[in-house]
Amino acid sequence: MNTRSITHVFFILILCCYTSFSKAQGYKIDVSVKGWQDTTLILGHYFNKKMLVNDTIYIDNNGAGTFTGEEKLPGGVYIIYMPDQTYFDIIVDDEQHFSITANKENPVQSLVIHGNKQEKAFNDYQKFIFSKQEKAKEIQEKLKDKDQYTKEQQDTFKKQLSELSTDVQSYWDKILHLHEGTFLASFIKAMREIEVPDFKALNQPDSVIQVKRYQYYKQHYFDNIDMNDDRLLRTPFFTGKLENFFSKTILQLPDSIVKEAVRVIDMAKGNKDMEKYLIQFTFNYANESKLMGMDAAMVQLGEKYYLSGIADWVDQEFIDKLEDRITKLKPNLIGNTAPDLKMVSPNNQYYRLSEVYAPITILIFWEPDCGHCKKEIPKLKELVWDKYQDVGVKIFAVFTQHEKEKWTDFIADHQLEEWINVYDPYHQSNFRNLYDIYSTPAIYILDENKKIIGKRIGAEQVPDFIDHQLKLNKQAAASL
């Protein structure tokens, strides 16, 4: 054989090996589900508490089919979804050429795996957990029936539950030891709750110990979760863990939310997919919150991650809209001094918001044709003005439209003449942008220095804010 022939054959061998290697990079999952035939199966994965579809196949009259694709699947917990809307979970990671066989009626218990060690171990874990859950359920049912069992028997049941918990913990430890470095180990570890010290050795009051335990729990909440492992995004519990942390563990204050959001996002630096998800999750949490004042958290997170260019996956249209939204929100965030307004009354007298002297000023934007305003304005008079005008509370009421006659008729009909009633007929105050007025009514509560202490609440909530602020004012005066 001449050199040219050898070279040609060698090239063909390389090409064949490369082709085989390329094909091996994809996924090929042979599935056989006894009890199903001539129907479809779906392969999906968990993400953000949802199931997203990866592949769909038609299985033959023996219940067999193959999920296949040229590119590897991202690691995570996947779902085989059956026609009757039941499903079972499998782990997909490095080994993506394997086969599974199961029965339609009880797929988890009947599952047989070939070619995927992690999935085999995961299925063994599922079977183990299922058996322990069944035993725990039986014991818990007995504990509910206190009249049938003696205290000694109940103590025995409680001990049995504790032993079951110990068994589960031991099984988790075994998986972490035998499968160290795998996604299965990362998955199991992430599901474990952290152990919080009791701090009893401090010999402190219970209140101090409880604070210590809370602070430890908050600080170490994510110790068992590797934020650089984006495979955890494709699990059924990850988003739930985040939601529990941000909604139930952290104080629902903008500064607290932002501080913890930044800390959690920093844990994922180096993993673009995880960092992206955490930025989106925390921003959306603040943006969608119904809690008063949480817009301040949205503004801070929006500026830090989106307007700065860190979130480089969003398009310019989103950035432009967000920038406009933040521009409108920033002047009227809680804690800021209320932007000044110079407006005119029905009898053409000018008033400035900054010159209203009052321990508390209620600033309301409204219009007489607004159905909700027709309900809220009379409530505001009854619950706030009639009750608190004697202690100096003032109402600065801004009419947002221009039909002066409707406005003045409403004022007269509802006896609102003693309010500071104003409007902006010449469009000089920019009140819509300064106070983000896109609908009415919109109520702001200002302290004696015109600092915003409440915003966008109903008339029925205003008295609580007034009472609280008057109490603070009284305490401050007493301390002088």
Q: What is the pLDDT of residue 21?
A: 41
Question: Could you tell me what percent of the chain has a pLDDT over 90?
Answer: 83
For residue 23, name the pLDDT band (cuts at 50, 70, 90).
very low
Q: Give tens-digit pLDDT for 99-108.
A: 999 999 999 9
Q: Give tens-digit pLDDT for 130-169.
A: 999 999 998 888 888 777 888 888 888 889 999 999 999 9
Q: What is the pLDDT of residue 10?
A: 36
In order of 37, 240, 294, 356, 380, the CA distances from 439 in angstroms are: 57, 34, 19, 25, 17
Tell me if 27-115 shares its fold with 336-478. no
**Superfamily name and number for 336-478:** Glutaredoxin (3.40.30.10)
CB 102 within 8 A of CB 110: yes
For residue 9, name the pLDDT band (cuts at 50, 70, 90).
very low
d(C-alpha 51, C-alpha 68), whole Å: 19
> Does residue 355 register a pLDDT over 90?
yes
Domain boundaries, the chain: 27-115, 222-332, 336-478
Which residue matches tokens 């804690």? 335
**Alpha-carbon torsion 411, 412, 415, 418, what sign?**
positive
> For the residues 374-395, what does the mean pLDDT come to?
95
CB 432 within 8 A of CB 399: no
Q: What value does the mean pLDDT of the chain take?
A: 91
User: Which of 343, 298, 308 is CA-nearest to residue 434?
Assistant: 343
Q: What is the pLDDT of residue 19?
A: 40
27-34/97-103 β-pairing: parallel
> Does residue 305 register a pLDDT over 90?
yes
> For the residues 405-416, what does the mean pLDDT come to?
95
Classify domain 27-115 at the CATH topology level. Answer: Immunoglobulin-like (2.60.40)
Record the tokens describing residue 222, joined without a space. 């994510």
Q: Give tens-digit pLDDT for 454-463.
A: 999 999 999 9
d(C-alpha 101, C-alpha 228), whole Å: 33
For residue 201, name the pLDDT band (cuts at 50, 70, 90).
confident
> Does residue 354 register a pLDDT over 70?
yes
d(C-alpha 167, C-alpha 155), whole Å: 18
Of 35-49, 134-148, 186-200, the one with minimum mean pLDDT is: 134-148
Q: What is the pLDDT of residue 24?
A: 55
Q: Give tens-digit pLDDT for 461-476.
A: 999 999 999 898 888 8
For residue 17, name the pLDDT band (cuts at 50, 70, 90).
very low
d(C-alpha 115, C-alpha 121), whole Å: 12
- 388 vs 21, which has greater pLDDT? 388
Residue type, 281: F
Q: What is the pLDDT of residue 152?
A: 87
For residue 20, name the pLDDT band (cuts at 50, 70, 90).
very low
Q: What is the pLDDT of residue 157?
A: 86
Residue type, 234: R
Q: What is the pLDDT of residue 82?
A: 94
d(C-alpha 448, C-alpha 393), whole Å: 10
CB 189 within 8 A of CB 176: yes
